[in-house]
Amino acid sequence: MRISVRVNGDEASGDVEPRLLLVHYLRQTLGLTGTHWGCDTSNCGACTVLLDGVPVKSCTVLAVMADGHAVTTVEGLATSDGLDPVQEGFMQEHGLQCGFCTPGMMLTARALLDRDPDPDEATIREAISGNLCRCTGYENIVRAIRWAAGHPAAEVAKEASL
């Protein structure tokens, strides 16, 4: 079936089998391997991407379901102005160790901040409760997201250009 998906702002189109999962479409067909593929059972959240701005687990969404919609992967977070504040926050606060959970974490965080620019710790923990991290114990991830909340996009861009 022919599909056309807006991925990170660019139109991607092609023929896919209906049974192709979105995670494999992104990784294998489009070569966007930033989206990780972990449990395959919609538990771990490593495969989280934004579908029309909403976090979804792409191992449990068909590529054909994204036809006509917009998908944001971790590759789409940074802009020509520099890193997204969430990415900057993960760097500043050491929000990752092995990095396997990180793309999913960052997209969930991005969607949270778009909805609630100043979330408290409990809200952050609730929002990322569908993203499992085996390394960090979550403390630094929560701090990284708080950092991003305290440094909205404009500020990060300004610091980067100094």
Partner 1 sequence: MQVPAPFEYARASTVDEAIELLGRHGAGARLVAGGHSLLPMMKLRLARPDALVDINGLSDLDYIRVDGDEIAIGAMTRHAGVLGSAVLAEHYRIFAEAERVIADPIVRNRGTVGGSLCQADPAEDLSAVFAALRGTAVVRSASGSRTVALREFHTGPYETVVGEGEILVEVRVPIRTHLGSAYEKVERRAGDWAIAAAGAFVQLDDAGAVRDVGLGLAAVGAEHYTCEEAEDLLRGRPLSDEAIAEAAALCAQRCQPQADQRGPVDYKRHLVGVLVGRALRRSAGRARGEEV
Residues 72-131 that bind partner 1 (CB under 8 A): 108, 126-127, 129-131
Nearest to 7 by CA among 76, 54, 81: 76
Please say whether the beta carbons of 88 and 147 come within 8 A.
yes
* DSSP H or E segment with residue 57: strand 54-57
Q: What angle do CA 82, 85, 90 make, to 5 degrees?
A: 110
Give the one entry of ligand FES, partner 1, ligand FAD, none that residue 38 binds, where binding means its C-beta sits below a cut-off of 5 to 8 angstroms depending on kind.
Answer: ligand FES
- What, of partner 1, ligand FES, ligand FAD, none, does residue 147 touch, CB below 5 to 8 Å by kind? none
Shortest gap between Cβ of 128 and ligand FAD (angstroms)?
Answer: 15
Q: How many residues bind partner 1 (CB under 8 A)?
A: 28
Counted residue by residue, the chain has a size of: 162
From the list 4, 13, 28, 43, which residue makes contact with ligand FAD (rule: CB under 6 A)? Answer: 43
Residues 11-50 that bind ligand FES (CB under 6 A): 37-40, 42-47
Sheet holding 2-7, edge to edge: 10-15, 2-7, 70-72, 48-51, 54-57
Minimum distance from CB of 42 to ligand FAD (Å)?
Answer: 4
Task: Tell me which stretch binds partner 1 (CB under 8 A): 35-43, 79-87, 136-144, 152-160.
Answer: 35-43
Tell how strand 70-72 and strand 2-7 pair up: parallel
**Site residues, ligand FAD (CB under 6 A):** 42-43
